[in-house]
Structure 1
Amino acid sequence: MRPVLIALLALSLANCGRLEQVGKAPEFNPVENSNEFFAMTSTPMPTEIAARPRAQEASLWSGSRRSLLGDRRAAARGDILTVVIEIDDKAEISNSTGRSRSSSDTMGMPSMFGIPQRLNAELPEGASMADAYETGSNSSYQGDGSVARNEKLTLRVAATVLDRLPNGVMRIQGVQEVRVNFEVRELIVTGFVRPEDVSRQNEITYDKIAGARISYGGRGQITDVQQPRYGQQVADILLPF
């Protein structure tokens, strides 16, 4: 009984923090502790500073990113770009498999130098070497399967360049939280992009992000109702039936 009581006590303590949110809207995650904030506030590496051309700020043809014709696409750590997520996938798979087999085998020895006749006298009544054995088998199999999936998601989120790898590829991360009443919707995008894939509008589509991880979910009262209780989840794992 002691292990059971310890487990129940641990579950109760884990839920104590959620009791503080009773009657309140879910809190936002602090921006100051995020990777984006650290990338934008940290001092860039000397190579990143040297990579940016220096020219007169008043010149229209300068290489500065703030000039009229300057390249404003994200290229260094701390820069911001827009990730466009437009997922419209539809897949249908259907297959059918059938298999059947039938076999029979018969063997007899009616005569062979008089040996079968001598053996027949020793065999039980009704048995004869003329029909030594006869076998038959029949099997069949039929299988059908189908998969139908339809997903559609259209979102836009601002992402921050967390790091620029030695080969020039940028690691990005974008987090967006929207609170409506007592429910917080979270959108998280991470992955690796090439600078040349960023458009002139400083945007990149999700299909150009390598190792993309896109999460769209929420937390709050509605999500709590939709999820089974901890005890039920534990019971579903432990109970064999």
Structure 2
Amino acid sequence: MIPAIALALLPGCGRLAEIGQAPQISAIGNPALQTEARTISMPMPAPTILEREPSSLWRTGARSFFRDQRAKTVGDILTVLIDIEDRAQLQNQTQRRRANSESAGLPAFFGFEQQLSDVLPDEVDPDSLVELESGSDSTGTGSVNRTERITMRVAAVVTDVLPNGNLVIAGRQEVRVNFELRELRVAGVIRPEDITNTNAIDYDKIAEARVSYGGRGHISDVQQPRYGQQIFDIIMPW
């Protein structure tokens, strides 16, 4: 029992040590050794040999005012404009009603109808031997009202150029405020001609788009049910 409690408290030992104390300031160190500043490895285009021409102000492959600055090769960066405003409103109403009535008698039956009184009880009337009635009533009402709005800008990197010229892009953005981390991810396939002259593209022009926005931290932990409750909700059949 004690080892189980110790394992449960292990992730929070750092917080327990800071109860009643101010957060510790990090020691001064080499900025190049920070996690955020470590060496980055990203998709890059194949290197090209630049040729210099004598007495020329321009060189092959150099960026200039006359060159298209829109992303087109692996490793280029473009801005994805996310402005999602989805609305869905559905309302269905169904009403059905049915009533049936059947009545059958045997007032004449080859002259033997008079003998039915000898066979059947005295309360039976040959003129109304069978009488059936049925009725059903059904009413259904359904309503759906959903509204979502996400507005963001994120930079993405071209990770691949497909044989037909389309570009595969992927981007991620993380913002941490105190103990809460917000993360935005976007990925998909775009056409080069859909990129604007400001090197940006709208999210609705991304094929196979994958947009994810969420977070983790103290606030997110409080908003989520505990692990035990989640497992209980999964395994319980009712």
Shorter chain as normaliser: what TM range? 0.7 to 0.9
Aligned to 2:180: 183
Q: Secondary structure, in 3 states, of the residue corresponding to 2:231?
A: helix
Residue type of the partner of 2:69? Answer: R
Q: Which residue of 2 aligns with 1:102?
A: 99
SS in 1 for 2:81: strand
The answer to whether the aligner puts 1:205 opposite 2:202 as a matched pair is yes
1:84 aligns with 2:81: yes
| TM-aligned CA distance change 1:234 to 1:193, over 3 Å | same
Q: Which residue of 1 aligns with 2:221?
A: 224
Matched position secondary structure for 1:234: helix
Q: Contact 1:85 / 1:153 at 8 angstroms: preserved in 2?
A: yes
Indicate the residue corresponding to 1:146 in structure 2: 143
Displacement of 1:116 after TM fit? 2.4
TM-score, length of structure 1 as denominator length: 0.78
Unaligned runs of 5+ in 2: 24-34
Which of residues 174, 191, 195 in structure 2 aligns to 1:194? 191
Unaligned runs of 5+ in 1: none
2:66 corresponds to which letter in structure 1? Answer: L
| Cα separation, partners in 2 of 1:39 and 1:18, compared to 1, 3 Å | farther
RMSD: 3.2
Q: Choose 1 or 2 for highest CA Rg.
A: 2
Match of 1:91, SS state, is strand
C-alpha separation in 1, matches of 2:213 and 2:37? 18
Q: Residue in 2 aligned with 1:58?
A: 57
Q: Secondary structure at the match of 1:89?
A: strand
TM-score normalised by L of structure 2: 0.79
Matches for 1:108-187 after TM superposition, within 5 Å? 108-187=105-184
Q: Does 1:39 align with 2:38?
A: no
Asked whether the 8 Å contact 1:157–1:175 carries over to 2, the reply is yes
Structure 1 residues 55, 166: CA separation in 2 closer, same or farther (over 3 Å shift)?
farther
1:239 equivalent in alignment to 2:222: no
The 8 Å contact of residues 63 and 70 in structure 1, kept in 2 or not, is answered as no
Indicate the residue corresponding to 2:26 in structure 1. Answer: none
User: C-alpha displacement at 1:132, in angstroms?
Assistant: 1.8
Tell me how far 1:115 sits from its aligned partner: 2.5
Letter in 2 for 1:38: M
Matched residues, number: 219
